[in-house]
Amino acid sequence: MSTPMDGPAAAAGGAAASDTPRTVDLDSLYRDSGIGTMLEQMDRELVGLKPVKTRIREIAALLLVERARRSLGMQADPPPLHMCFTGNPGTGKTTVARRMAGILHGLGYIRRDHVVSVTRDDLVGQYIGHTAPKTKDVLKRAMGGVLFIDEAYYLYRPENERDYGQEAIEILLQVMEDNRDDLVVILAGYKDRMDTFFKSNPGMASRIAHHVDFPDYEPEELMQIARLMMDGMNYRFSPDAESAMRDYITRRMAQPRFSNARSIRNALDRARLRQANRLFEARGAPLDLEALQTITGEDIRKSRVFAQ
């Protein structure tokens, strides 16, 4: 007499069981996804931001392990991926959003390595019936990738009872819930204003799983950023310009509307303009590569920052 484990049915059941992998090579998944290269690139290209890089690595590790669990048949709802990046202007929020899109795509959580960056003006209309089509058009463009909404708190203006931002928020909330396996939304802005926004919009707050705070840069980090920007534009500082740029950073950080790396880029653009005018005014003799590449202390110190 056959036991319950005898016969063809048992053999078939055994074969089915053996088809399901019992182990997973996490290191192999890590290599195949390419996220190691992306994280190394982020470390190499982004100065400072240690807590941000740590948080991004933690999120990447969570998603990698979730993918490993799925490969062993542990099916579950996709992990919540919507995020909030808070910090002052010029601290790298948009850049990290692009890196995050690459990581999400490499791990298979979004279809496209694609970021659509918008502000309130791209989502909210100025009259009845205008907001819904604007918001839906943006969502259509972002679908399959990442939607990055900068200064997201401007969507909500309770002081204006005729404001249409609430309509955009309601559409976003619905799509964030219904299409969370095909769209990741990253909200960004000043921390205190985003906190107020979430208190006024609990539905939005409940959908944001990951909060990443971006610190301001230190003076030496800003100097390093300046050098990287100069290298990328095929310029270099003279020794005097190095000293002048350090002085500029100290003075500029103490002034209003300082925007971290954004202010450094603006300063370098103006220094390039002064260098070009200096060379133009002295035209007559041939210019060599060094002259065309070099930013001098004079090019930096002519900034209005030094006059103040």
Burial class (CB in 10 A: 0-12, 13-18, 19+), 149: buried
Rounded (to 5) percent helix, strand, coil in the chain: 60, 10, 30
For the segment 95-117, what is each residue's pLDDT rounded down to a tens digit? 999 999 999 999 889 999 999 99
185, pLDDT greater than 50: yes
Q: What is the pLDDT of residue 20?
A: 61
Sheet architecture: strand order including 83-87: 115-118, 146-149, 184-189, 83-87, 210-214
Distance CA 186, CA 176 (A): 11
pTM of the model: 0.84
Burial class (CB in 10 A: 0-12, 13-18, 19+), 240: middle
pLDDT band at 8 (very low <50, low <70, confident <90, very high): very low
304, pLDDT greater than 90: yes
Distance CA 125, CA 132 (A): 8
Compute the average pLDDT of residues 168-192. Answer: 93
pLDDT band at 14 (very low <50, low <70, confident <90, very high): very low
Q: At what angle do helices 239-253 and 261-281 cross, to 10 degrees?
A: 140
**Torsion on CA atoms 27, 29, 30, 35, rounded to nearest 10:** 170
For the segment 219-276, what is each residue's pLDDT rounded down to a tens digit? 999 999 999 999 999 999 999 999 999 999 999 999 999 999 999 999 999 999 999 9
pLDDT band at 161 (very low <50, low <70, confident <90, very high): low
Q: What is the pLDDT of residue 163?
A: 78
Length of the chain: 308
Q: What is the pLDDT of residue 254?
A: 94
Highest mean pLDDT among 28-32, 56-60, 147-151: 147-151
Query: Over the chain, what is the mean pLDDT?
Result: 88
Please tell me the least confidently modeled range out of 62-66, 185-189, 196-200, 205-209. 62-66
Q: CATH classification of 219-307, choosing from 3.40.50.2000, 3.20.20.70, 1.10.8.60, 3.40.50.300?
A: 1.10.8.60
Distance CA 212, CA 195 (A): 13
Output the six-digit token pair for 222. Answer: 């800003």
- For residues 128 and 115, the model is more confident at 115
In the CATH scheme, what is the code of domain 24-214?
Answer: 3.40.50.300
Q: What is the pLDDT of residue 172?
A: 94
Domain extent listing, the chain: 24-214, 219-307
